[in-house]
Amino acid sequence: MATERTLSIIKPDATKRNLTGKINAKFEDAGLRIVAQKRIHLTPAQAGEFYKVHAERPFFAELRDFMASGPVVVQVLEGDGAIAKNREVMGATNPKDAAPGTVRADFAESVGENSVHGSDAPETAAEEIAYFFAGLELVG
C-alpha cells in the first residue's frame, strides 16, 4: 500500500477534555506518524468554509458553531494507506456505532461532538491539508 497523508482534526469537545495526547497515542499506536500539528481556534467563517460540503445539511450551522466553539488541533498524519487507516482508528461518525477501542467509541460525546475529523479520499486530503498547512510545515 502506498504512503499517504491525511488531514486530521482533534475537535473542540476533545481539546476541552484534555484528550489530545490520548488521541495522538491511538494514531501513533496504529502506525500513523504526525508530520505536522498545530493548535488553533477557528472563526465560524473558517469552520464553515472547511465543512462547506455539508452547507445544505440540516446540522450545518450546529457543526460550524461547534467547530468554532473552542481550540482544535489540526494535524497531518502519514503512513501506509493513512486515509483509510485513520478512519478505522477514528471509528464510525456516530459513537454508538463505533467499534470498541476506536477514538469515537472511547471519547466521542455524540454524533455531532465526535472528537475527531479525518479526510475521506486522496483529493479531499490534499485540499484539506493545503487549507491549514504550507508545504514547509510538513516534516516527514
Residues at the site binding ligand ATP, with contacts judged by CB under 6 A: 54, 59, 62-63, 93, 111-112, 114, 117-118, 120
Give the shortest CB-31-to-ligand ATP separation in angstroms. 19
* 54 annotated active-site: no
The answer to whether the CB of 14 falls within 8 A of the CB of 112 is no
In the numeric block, the cell 482533534 is attached to 10
**What letter would DSSP give residue 99?**
P
Which candidate, 40, 35, 31, places its Cα nearest to that of 10? 40
The answer to whether the CB of 91 falls within 8 A of the CB of 99 is yes
Nearer to ligand ATP, 79 or 95 (CB): 95
CA distances in angstroms from 85 to 54, 62, 90, 112, listed in the order given: 23, 28, 9, 21
Which residue out of 11, 98, 117, 118 is catalytically annotated? 117
Nearer to ligand ATP, 88 or 139 (CB): 88
Query: Which alpha helices (H) appear in the chain, and where do they start and end?
Result: 12-16, 20-29, 44-50, 60-67, 82-90, 103-107, 122-132
Give the shortest CB-28-to-ligand ATP separation in angstroms. 19
Give the shortest CB-68-to-ligand ATP separation in angstroms. 13
Nearer to ligand ATP, 112 or 136 (CB): 112
Nearer to ligand ATP, 55 or 139 (CB): 55
Give the shortest CB-136-to-ligand ATP separation in angstroms. 26
Q: Which residues are catalytic?
A: 117
